[in-house]
Structure 1
Amino acid sequence: MRAVRTLLLAALALASACHAQAAPPPVGSFFANPAFNGAMLSPNGRYLAAFIGAGDQRDGLAVVDLNDLSAHMVAQFNDTDIGQAHWVNNERLLFSTVDKSVGRRDVRFGPGLFVVERDGKRFRQLAKRNNPFFQSGDGGRELLPWHTFMLDQPGAQDSDEVYVTDADLRGAGILAASDLLRLNTRTGLTHAVEHPGVARGWLLDQHGQPRLVETLDGNTEAIHYLDPATSQWRTLASFNAYTGGAGGFDPLAFGPDGTLYVTARAGHDRSALYRYDLVHNKLSEQPVVTLDGFDFRGHLIVSDDRLLGVRVHGDAEGTVWFDAGMKALQKTVDAILPGTINLITPARRPETPWMLVQAYSDKQPLRTLVFNTETKRMSEVGSLAPLIKPAEMGSRELVHYTARDGLDIPAWLTLPPGGHDKNLPMVVLVHGGPFMRGGSWNWNADAQFLATRGYAVLEPEFRGSVGFGEAHFRAGWKQWGLKMQDDIADGTRWAIAQGTADARRICIAGASYGGYATLMGLINDPELYQCGIDWVGVTDIDLLYDSGWRYASDLPQGWKQYGMPALIGDRVKDAAQLQATSPLRQAARVTQPLLLAYGGADVRVPLNHGLKFYDAVKAGNPHVEWIEYPEEGHGWALPKNRIDFWTRVEKFLDKNIGAR
């Protein structure tokens, strides 16, 4: 088995050979599955665990000894890939699996749960992968059920015990509850954690013990705290789970001294990081960290029982350091790696001078390196897209424009490489959700692929997008096809007025809600868009409420009962509006060339959204192309389908707005 370094050097050599080509990078450089999928330091910083795959090999788990940079694979399967992993302690790894060779339709197994020593010994299965068949474990002991999942928090990492969740899944994978189990990774024995209500989320404290549980009852979310003084749960806050409310906050983490840190608005438009007083049940008077122009998003950086800083995500991901030594180290690393944002992560209980570094920019896909703070040695571990060369990528920046009603709209603008920034063919790429944040200043495969083909790419953060303040978010409620759509059109006109976009060569595109906005853009603003690309897009809001008996949906009933009526539209009270903003009911108005692509196994936007719209639009529009990937769900899981889809997109765009 080849060492990790050998594998990564071979990938880099191949990338260098490709750099000499004059043509744009091939589609596979953007959309193939990466051979490297991240890494994590052991708690003591002596070892690095990395997710590695090569050629026809499944993704395995490799461990690098940082003393001599020797590496070996400690776990790898023939029939599936390793998906998640945590260090249980300095000697032991817990991991689960994911099959990257199949689409959603063909998924037959759960993730399972496994442990292995860092030297590859004492491999053991702890949870089943298959449902409904009985499977025995070591010594005839029954394994944990297939719906046992890893917690998204590593825990204390100082014993053989971890916490895992026992998920109650209904229908098409809808999470009804998430109970917590304490698991001994050597014996396989578990102990259920008692808690109030229907648990939906957990937070471990600084000692790796369960301290907070979030519950859901109807439309009421509550946060409960396990008070160590009384060993009893008490409620800290309750609020509307879908629309928020006074006193609401999001628990983030416990600091090393036991302080609870939360994200809250505290009467302001944008959320910030606060300390929470667990004695008096209130926020600190002043925030710990605020982000200019953005809601707070990030996590604590703790090492050697000290809070060193906070990883934050404003326009880009970066770090606010509290520790003077880490501030100085950041300057050293930035000098070694100029031109990229460099995220430093120390070990939890360091016994060595090694730290993990992740470097990226708008042109540079994420690289993972290790840095020795004593010798100043920087060693690359891997890149998520090693065939991509920054010199061949376009620039990406956050811009702002004003909507017709005066609202400020942020947007991401990616331009082709080579300094071309005027009179360009443009793709308006609309993010999904829609109540999520669309983009960031980083390397984005979709936008950069289009930019390398000569297109400007505009990605509006239209009203309703999160991360830009409560007012921006709430302005999008019940505005599907209305003001949200106007924001996208206003951004398109802004790009034309700036001289960036050629008004005669603009296409609108997007997935999920972005697909809905694509169709509504062709309907509302036919003079703006010469073509449209909709993949896995919503075509009728009524179909989201009820997709029919033939098509499964993973939208929870609580979201349909409480969330959708408030944020999208009430099916009864707003029936006239939902009909007026239904692409399906107005399909005859779409006359521009259109590319439609849907997954046959999609349970978020079931296939009948696409089939019904295709049947309705093709009656009067001969320029409609249809693609169905039968095995795919809500997006393309398989590289062959991603490559096929984007190859079709390139041909479709060149035919209709001709970049070259």
Structure 2
Amino acid sequence: MVDLIPREHLFGNPTRYGHQISPDGKRLAWVAPFEGVLNIWSAPLDHLDAAQPVTRDRRRAVDSFAFAYDGRHLLYVQDADGDENFHVFAADLESGRHRDLTPYPGIAAGIVGMSRLVRDRVLLALNDRDARFHDLHSVDLATGERTLVVENPGFAGFLIDEHYAVRFAALNRRDGSSELLIRYGQSWKPWLTFPAEDARASGAENLDASGDILFCRDSRGRDTAALTRIDIASGETRTLAAHDEADIGTVLHDIETRAPIAYSVTHARRRWYVLDERFRDDFAFLDAQGLGDWYPASRSEDDALWIVVARSDTRVSEAALYDRRSKTLRSLGSARPELEGAPLAPMHPAVIHSRDGLELVSYLSRPLGAEGPGPLVLLVHGGPWARDSFGFDPMHQWLANRGYAALSVNFRSSTGFGKAFLNAGDGAWGRAMDDDLLDAVAWAVAEGVADPARIAIMGGSYGGYAALMALCRNPDTYACGIDLVGPANLETLVRTIPPYWEAMRAQLHRAIGDPDTEEGMALIRERSPVYFADRIRAPLMIVQGANDPRVKQAESDQMVAALDASGVPVTYLLYPDEGHGLVRPDNRLAFFARAEAFLARHLGGRCEPIREGEAAGSSVQVVREG
């Protein structure tokens, strides 16, 4: 029997990750712990052992950042205890001073653009005028002085050029379609329409450096989204790349011209395709290094240096500095070196066929040495407009190490597999989307992987909803379930979305129903687990962050109240200092310790004893102990 991998090695703070190189190629920055809390660190490229923390937060992780082009500032964003009211800060790497560029209460700000041509300013989105819609402001990095660039009358977003001029705006229509409007002076004109069936998979990608060419992802006239080039003056459109098996994924652009140089396509595994011959040798070299499903995470302004992240199923993310001139790789270290030599389980891609003929790209990890049927945990991703991919997954490794098979399924509505697959989830929450999960379970049983009496379902956000609905709809299929920040009542979910999600309300109505119509409300009630709590027979754990702005605490409170009324036991964990997910390591470790004991109790897997002091700083409140 293999050794237990400590939970802390999988879910505690990583050693380092998120490396970025400065535009001038002289500095690196990354995320690493400072006094037990993840913070941003930086050092000269030729003197990495002189690294110093840029931020010194002692409460919550600071992990989203970018170098400015002025060679002096590093920008980072941070919220308060998961409320997602992000502020944008500028750290002066020379003086050490920090400035909140968005010092306004109750706002949610974001970085829209940083330009090589306007190096002393950054373009930010702020919703201080109208909480529903973000206006664009140009902000001076040194002084914080802001200038309004454009007021947002209700658009989903803008497309800007390198001079910070606003050229296009995206507008989501009530029928689910999306319209691209072009700016003429102070007015807007409809320019390009993506019908409702295409809107989620299609849209403007970027402008080239001249501002005369627009690149788009476009699924019109085909199933998968292609990469297209449109001459703005003439409207001439040319397809640059398209694949039948999956949508165009990540697109890399030339630093100078902003034209695409390469792109990825991910079906079961990621593959790179080169468009610009100048880069063919680079991709060939990197493909030959045994990096797994690698990707370029950051590039210097002269494009001579890349940060490349290597990732595979049994290889934790490892960053390396790639020098294009010398064709050399310099390791920058693993995110979790403590897992070197650990008994990690391989991940196996599989295509499972749904009952109505869809191909569900899935990923299975089994305990090392497993033979014959055993306990299985079905992991359901959030979104649902997201996807699972191949690579190192701490959840898979944790479960496989404890004796469970872990199965992740890209059910209908998952992104990347074409618009027909994506749109097949509309109106299918808790029905056909749940059928896909049932079909995956049936596949695992038929393949001799899963013992039908020992199957659990677990997920976060939409995955938490799926777990709740699965236990209501299929009470005899699952031995237990875990819901992490999942909605229970689709009416209250859609009525309490953050105000700045207003532009995507039509897409939510298209997916789950419009609560302001009789037909939509009937659909919502039919697909909301809170109304069917009395059908649940399997043990259930519900986990909620009190500050979650997307799936509010009222969702979990409603579900627990409905379970109490029906006499159904439930364990309810509430974290007063978390939002949509668990960020603080003490909170993560406290959750996984309890989840591990819960699964061991109901599925019979192994359980690491809770170590003295483990997660001692967690804020978890056990509201119910079922």
1:589 is displaced (CA, Å) by 1.6
Aligned AA (1:356): I
Distance change >3 Å, CA 183–CA 516, structure 1 → 2? closer
Superposed, 1:278-357 pairs within 5 Å as 278-284=232-238, 287-305=239-257, 307=259, 309-315=261-267, 316-335=269-288, 337-344=289-296, 347-350=299-302, 353-357=304-308
The 2-side partners of 1:404 and 1:576 are apart by 26
170, 192, 203: which one pairs with 1:214?
170
Residues matched between the structures, number: 600
Give the aligned partner of residue 141 of structure 2.
185
Structure 1 partner of 2:377: 427
Measure the CA separation in 2 of the matches of 1:516 and 1:189.
44
Read off the aligned partner of 2:366 and give its amino acid letter. Answer: L
- Rounded to whole Å, the distance in 1 between the matches of 2:535 and 2:220 is 46
Tell me the distance in 2 between the aligned counterparts of 1:249 and 1:71: 45
Does 1:150 find its partner at 2:94? no
The aligned amino acid for 1:642 is R
Residue 205 of structure 1: aligned partner = 161
The equivalent residue for 1:527 is 476
Q: 1:305 to 1:659 in 2, by over 3 A?
A: same
The equivalences for 1:184-263 within 5 A come to 184-194=140-150, 197-205=153-161, 209-215=165-171, 221-226=178-183, 234-238=189-193, 243-244=196-197, 249-256=202-209, 258=211, 259-263=213-217
- Runs of 5+ unmatched residues, structure 2: 607-626
| Residues 1:131 and 1:620: Cα distance change in structure 2 (over 3 Å) | closer
- Are residue 87 (structure 1) and residue 67 (structure 2) matched? yes
- Aligned AA (2:101): A
SS in 2 for 1:366: strand
The 1:129/1:535 distance shift into structure 2, 3 A limit, reads same
Corresponding residue SS for 2:5 = coil
Query: Contact 2:201 / 2:419 at 8 angstroms: preserved in 1?
Result: no
Give the secondary-structure state (helix, strand or coil) at the position aligned to 1:331.
helix
Matched residue, 1:414: 365
Cα deviations across residues 77-123 of structure 1 (Å, max 9, x unaligned)? 35576444333326222413426xx6336x8x852432424xx2374
Tell whether the 8 Å contact from 1:363 to 1:391 is kept in structure 2 after alignment.
no
Q: Distance in 1 between matches of 2:297 and 2:370?
A: 37
Aligned partner letter, 1:386: P
- In 1, distance between residues paired with 2:473 and 2:37? 49
1:398 and 2:354 aligned: no
Q: SS of 1:443's equivalent?
A: coil
Match of 1:96 among 49, 70, 76: 76
Contact 2:344 2:401 in 1 (8 A): yes
Q: CA deviation at 1:375?
A: 4.8
TM alignment of 1:544-555, pairs within 5 A = 544-546=493-495, 553-554=497-498
Conserved in 2, the CA contact under 8 Å of 1:530 and 1:656? yes
Conservation of the 8 A alpha-carbon contact between 1:360 and 1:367: yes
Q: 1:127 aligns with which of 77, 95, 101?
A: 101
- Residue 277 of structure 1: CA displacement? 2.3
What amino acid does structure 1 have at the position aligned with 2:26?
R
**Distance in 1 (alpha carbons) for counterparts of 2:352 and 2:63:** 40
Task: Give the counterpart letter for 1:75 in structure 2.
Answer: V
Q: CA deviation at 1:272?
A: 1.1
- Tell me, what secondary structure is at the counterpart of 1:341? coil
TM-score, with normalisation over the residues of structure 1? 0.81
Q: In the alignment, which residue of structure 2 is the partner of 1:76? A: 55
Q: Secondary structure at the match of 2:254?
A: strand
Q: Quote the Cα distance in structure 2 between the aligned partners of 1:365 and 1:442.
A: 8
Query: Does the CA-based 8 Å contact 1:363-1:393 persist in structure 2?
Result: yes
User: What percentage of residue pairs aligned between the two structures are identical?
Assistant: 26
Rounded Cα–Cα distance in structure 2 between residues aligned with 1:599 and 1:196: 31
The 2-side partners of 1:78 and 1:471 are apart by 45
After superposition, the C-alpha distances for 1:580-617 in whole angstroms (9 at most, x for unaligned) are 43322222221122222222333322223322322332
Match of 2:87 in 1: 111
In the TM superposition, residue 524 of structure 1 has moved relative to its aligned partner by 2.6
Structure 2 residue 39 is matched with structure 1 residue 59:
yes
Q: Partners in 2 of 1:309 and 1:22 — Cα distance?
A: 45
Contact 2:223 2:244 in 1 (8 A): no
Deviation at 1:270, TM superposition (A): 1.0
Deviation of 1:247 after TM superposition, in Å, equals: 12
Q: Deviation of residue 473 (structure 1)?
A: 1.9
Q: 1:364 to 1:532 in 2, by over 3 A?
A: same
TM-aligned CA distance change 1:317 to 1:192, over 3 Å: farther
Per the alignment, do residues 433 and 130 of structure 1 end up closer, same or farther by CA in structure 2, a change over 3 Å counting? same
Task: For 1:306 and 1:579, locate their aligned partners in 2 and report how far apart those are by CA, in whole Å.
Answer: 48
1:559-594 CA-partner distances (Å, limit 9, x unpaired): 796334422124321444444433222222211222
- 1:7 aligned partner: none
CA–CA separation in structure 2 for the residues paired with 1:195 and 1:577? 36
My pick for the range that moved more, 624-633 or 342-351, is 342-351
Q: Identify the residue that residue 562 of structure 2 maps to in structure 1.
A: 616
Amino acid at match of 1:584: V
Aligned partners of 1:88 and 1:157 also within 8 Å: no
Instruction: Please give the secondary structure, in 2, of the residue aligned with 1:53.
Output: strand
1:47 paired with 2:58, answer no
What is the deviation of 1:273?
A: 0.8
RMSD after superposition: 3.4
In structure 1, the residue corresponding to 2:573 is in which secondary structure?
A: strand
Give the Cα–Cα distance (whole angstroms) in 1 for the partners of residues 338 and 299 of structure 2.
30
